[in-house]
């Protein structure tokens, strides 16, 4: 059924190629905004992890992309909830992001808000992209620099952390999946 296809593509799981991390998406009910159809229940489904990216020039993008180990995303008739921890390599300390909000048909996105800030999440096929502004996040630069991966240039990462500290904007990306659902 076409409705089941749209509902299935709305289930969200986190994705980062070749990291091998796991996460799960909890879905209490799913809503197809175009049809208004709902699914009353869905199972938790394991998936690969996603990424959080701070917008930077191309030459610094490797230092501006961070793995996200676990994201929880739920969608129901009232809207969506996004729940995850920002990477320690960006913030230095555990910073939880919980954003909730309705689907806005005019924007073609879920418009979310919470104590950390705001976000707009678009679902296109199996891909989810959330543009977030997070002024409620604290950054400990010294602690964040203790978490720099060996393959990342420390000066480039410091620059990314400085940019995020003063302009906390980023993009969370993850992939939708229907694995683990009853058909």
Q: Is the pTM of this model over 0.85?
A: no
Q: Could you say which residues of the chain have pLDDT below 70?
A: 1-48, 176-183
- What CA–CA distance (Å, rounded) separates 176 from 162? 32
Whether residue 183 is contained in a domain is answered as no
Give the containing element (helix H, strand E) for 121: strand 117-124
H and E: helices and strands count for the chain: 4, 15
Give the number of domains in the chain: 1
Q: What is the pLDDT of residue 40?
A: 28
Give the containing element (helix H, strand E) for 157: helix 154-166
Whether residue 79 is contained in a domain is answered as yes
The domain in which residue 44 lies consists of 2-176
Whether residue 182 is contained in a domain is answered as no
Q: What is the pLDDT of residue 61?
A: 93
């Amino acid at each position: 059924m076409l409705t089941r296809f749209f509902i299935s593509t709305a289930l969200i799981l986190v994705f980062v190629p070749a990291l091998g991390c796991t996460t799960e998406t909890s879905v209490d009910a799913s809503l197809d905004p175009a049809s208004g159809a709902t699914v009353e229940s869905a199972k938790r489904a394991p998936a690969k992890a996603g990424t959080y990216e701070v917008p930077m020039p191309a030459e610094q993008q490797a230092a501006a992309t961070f793995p996200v180990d676990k994201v929880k995303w739920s969608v129901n008739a009232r809207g969506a909830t996004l729940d995850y921890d920002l990477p320690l390599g960006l913030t230095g300390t555990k910073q939880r992001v919980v954003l909730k909000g309705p689907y806005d048909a005019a924007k073609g996105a879920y418009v979310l808000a919470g104590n950390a800030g705001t976000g707009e999440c678009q679902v296109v096929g199996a891909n989810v992209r959330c543009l977030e502004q997070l002024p409620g996040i604290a950054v400990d630069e010294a602690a964040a620099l203790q978490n720099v991966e060996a393959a990342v240039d420390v000066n480039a990462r410091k620059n990314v952390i400085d940019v995020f500290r003063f302009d906390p904007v980023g993009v969370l990306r993850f992939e939708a999946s229907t694995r683990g659902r009853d058909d």
